[in-house]
Amino acid sequence: MPNKKPSKTNYRKIAAISSLGLMLPSSIAVGLFFGYYLDKFFGTDPWLLLVFLLLGIFSGFYSLIRGLSKFKDE
């Protein structure tokens, strides 16, 4: 049995797919961070946090769906 080494393209696919798991939580965290500090700066306590949280959630899902669409045909 010959040992078949995985090609570099397989490693790149694995790296790209594994990074998809961090897209959603990182987008939400960035939204929370900006919303929290803008609320503190402007004194609009829950509103900017909620707006940026929703923007982070939508952005995370959009990035996740866009990233998954690259691999749907494979």
pLDDT band for position 7 (cuts 50, 70, 90): confident
Task: Give the span between the Cα atoms of 6 and 8, in whole angstroms.
Answer: 7
Task: Give the span between the Cα atoms of 35 and 63, in whole angstroms.
Answer: 20
Whether the predicted model's global pTM rises above the 0.85 cut: no
Q: What phi, psi does 37 have (nearest 5°)?
A: -75, -30
Confidence (pLDDT) at 11: 87
Confidence (pLDDT) at 59: 96
CB of 67 closer than 8 Å to CB of 20: yes
The residue among 51, 16, 22 whose CA lies nearest residue 35 is: 51
3: left (phi over 0), alpha (psi -120 to 50) or beta: beta
pLDDT band for position 14 (cuts 50, 70, 90): confident
With a pLDDT cut of 70, the percent of the chain lying above it is 91
